[in-house]
Amino acid sequence: MSRKVIQIGEEDINALILEVKEAFGHPIQNKSHIIHLIDKITTNNSKDIISFNTLRRFFKLIPSQHTPTIETLNILCRFCGYASWEEFTYVINQNSENFLGHSMIQIIRKQWSKEKAKHIIQDFKKSEKLYFWMSSVFHQISLEDKVFLVKESLNIIQSPQNENTSLGYAQYFWVQTIGCYMMQLEKRELTIFMKQIHHLKVICELCVSYNPSEINYDLILSHCKNDFTSTQDKLFLLSIQTLREYLKFGKLKKTSIVKIHQLVISADQFDIKPFSRIKALQIISEDAIHGSIERLKKDMSYFQKNKYYRESVVFFVLEISRALCHKNRFKDALQIISHYSNTYRGNVGFWASIHRNTLHLYSAWSNYFAGNKKSSIESLKNFNPQLVENFQEEWVLQDLKLIKKLLAEA
């Protein structure tokens, strides 16, 4: 198995020497300094064991013709507040954004200051690096400081209800980090956390959970449902509440079916994600008019022509093909998938690649029942279960189990 080559440059090593000295807080000039440093390193992390002579060589107190090992560099980087040598070299080589990386590390490692963190968030609110750093430090700080970071950062993150939003991947990743954390809290802790956060709507919109076991999502949604006021918001709320009902019980209530059937919506009115879920629910509820293949192709055509949706057309295709498979409309699912595959080729963004991966699963399912066993096996080989989105894994893995069973019995 090939491994990624990690560069060890002399300039980077010299930069780390300065960082270690700063973190140590004393000069490193003799044996007693080295002994004291070893104590501080092991106190900081009991698993980080480093030898006396290794440190003497690193600080050039004794001659050495060898470059420090990655293990040594990783230990020293952790002592300085970095995750690894790779992260350290990434940060120090970011030039104009170098200050941000160092500042966030200093805040967490040395002297957490809410005022300083607040200024950094305001100064760097358009920087993707800010959100990656907040994600990396989030699990290391206290509950009080978690609440503070979430409140300050969500103040400046817009609702993603429009596809042309300025949200970047790092902001999505940050909000998903918060969402994953909230999903795992005990009910009492979640209640306390929710009372202190005033922007839960953004978390609900960016961490849409298809996992029935994540009842915390229902609690968060219920807590902020009054914040969903626009027509767009209400469609979002209806789409996810009804879909979670279907996932929990395996069917829709009669009242939900009536509500879904009565909806007459067009692709030019709503954001692609809630729109796609509603269309999928209309298929599941066997709404013959709104779930017809002609209408679905027309909707997809609209999104394909609209530049804002180029990356997320695959979301529509995934939701629709999955619903068609669940209603045994395998030929229709193949039509939708084939039309998309023939139109979109080449590289896509991160989220589009995640949904494209999951699409292989439904291609395998629909090909199997269309009699194309070879294509079904090939599609399943292309599917990577490790790349499924955090908040969809239960539904996807359940379908994966079914498809594997079908192919094993064939």
Residues 78, 218, single domain; the answer is no
- The lowest-confidence range among 17-21, 85-89, 382-386 is 85-89
- Write down the pLDDT at residue 25: 83
- Write down the pLDDT at residue 348: 66
Which of 224, 247, 262 corresponds to the end of one domain? 224
Residues 123, 69, single domain; the answer is no
Q: Is the pLDDT of residue 21 over 80?
A: yes
Tell me the pLDDT tens digit for each residue of 261-278.
999 999 988 889 999 999
CA–CA dist 353, 161 (Å, integer): 21
Domains held by the chain: number: 3
pLDDT band at 101 (very low <50, low <70, confident <90, very high): low
Q: Is the pLDDT of residue 307 over 90?
A: no
Tell me the pLDDT tens digit for each residue of 228-252.
999 999 999 999 999 999 999 999 9
Tell me the pLDDT tens digit for each residue of 59-84.
989 888 778 888 899 999 988 878 78
- Write down the pLDDT at residue 350: 75
Report if residue 235 sits inside a domain: yes
Q: Is the pLDDT of residue 55 over 70?
A: yes
pTM: 0.72
Residues 257, 122, single domain; the answer is no
Contacts of 339 (CB under 8 A, 6+ apart): 297, 300
Report if residue 103 sits inside a domain: no
- Write down the pLDDT at residue 56: 92
Tell me the pLDDT tens digit for each residue of 322-350.
999 999 999 999 999 998 887 776 666 77
- Write down the pLDDT at residue 96: 42
Q: Is the pLDDT of residue 98 over 80?
A: no
pLDDT band at 109 (very low <50, low <70, confident <90, very high): low
- The lowest-confidence range among 25-34, 159-168, 347-356, 390-399 is 159-168
Contacts of 396 (CB under 8 A, 6+ apart): 358, 361, 385, 388
- Write down the pLDDT at residue 165: 57
Report if residue 5 sits inside a domain: no
**Of the ranges 4-18, 101-115, 356-370, the best mean pLDDT one:** 356-370
Q: Is the pLDDT of residue 99 over 60?
A: no
Residues 247, 389, single domain; the answer is yes
Report if residue 2 sits inside a domain: no
Report if residue 36 sits inside a domain: yes
- Write down the pLDDT at residue 161: 63
Residues 42, 122, single domain; the answer is no
Residues 210, 234, single domain; the answer is no
Q: Is the pLDDT of residue 5 over 50?
A: no
**The token pair that represents 145 in the structure block:** 């400081």
Residue 361 buriedness (CB in 10 A; 0-12 / 13-18 / 19+) = buried
Residues 360, 235, single domain; the answer is yes
- Write down the pLDDT at residue 345: 66
- Write down the pLDDT at residue 106: 56
Report if residue 101 sits inside a domain: no
pLDDT band at 219 (very low <50, low <70, confident <90, very high): very high
Report if residue 4 sits inside a domain: no
Average pLDDT, the chain: 85
Q: Is the pLDDT of residue 4 over 50?
A: no
Report whether 300 contacts 292 (CB < 8 A): no
Q: State which amino acid sits at residue 100.
A: L
pLDDT band at 1 (very low <50, low <70, confident <90, very high): very low
State the first-to-last Cα distance of the chain, in angstroms, to the nearest integer: 33
Q: Which residue has the higher pLDDT, 45 or 284?
A: 284
Q: State which amino acid sits at residue 371.
A: G
Q: pLDDT > 90: what percent of the chain?
A: 50
CA–CA dist 333, 362 (Å, integer): 8
- Concatenate the DSSP letters of all residues of 259-316 into one string: HHHH----TTTS-HHHHHHHHHHHHHTT-TTTT-HHHHHHHHHHHHHSGGGTTTHHHH
Tell me the pLDDT tens digit for each residue of 111-145.
556 776 777 777 666 667 678 777 877 877 788 88
Report if residue 278 sits inside a domain: yes
Which of 179, 204, 224 corresponds to the end of one domain? 224
pLDDT band at 107 (very low <50, low <70, confident <90, very high): low
Residues 126, 66, single domain; the answer is no
Residues 249, 280, single domain; the answer is yes
**Number of Cα atoms under 13 Å in the Cβ half of residue 76:** 27
Residues 191, 239, single domain; the answer is no
pLDDT band at 152 (very low <50, low <70, confident <90, very high): confident
pLDDT band at 2 (very low <50, low <70, confident <90, very high): very low
Which of 224, 250, 270 corresponds to the end of one domain? 224
Residues 144, 273, single domain; the answer is no
- Write down the pLDDT at residue 18: 84
Residues 214, 234, single domain; the answer is no
- Write down the pLDDT at residue 381: 94
- Give the range of the structural domain holding residue 199, as residue numbers without chain letter: 114-159+166-224
Q: Give mean pLDDT, residues 87-102.
A: 61
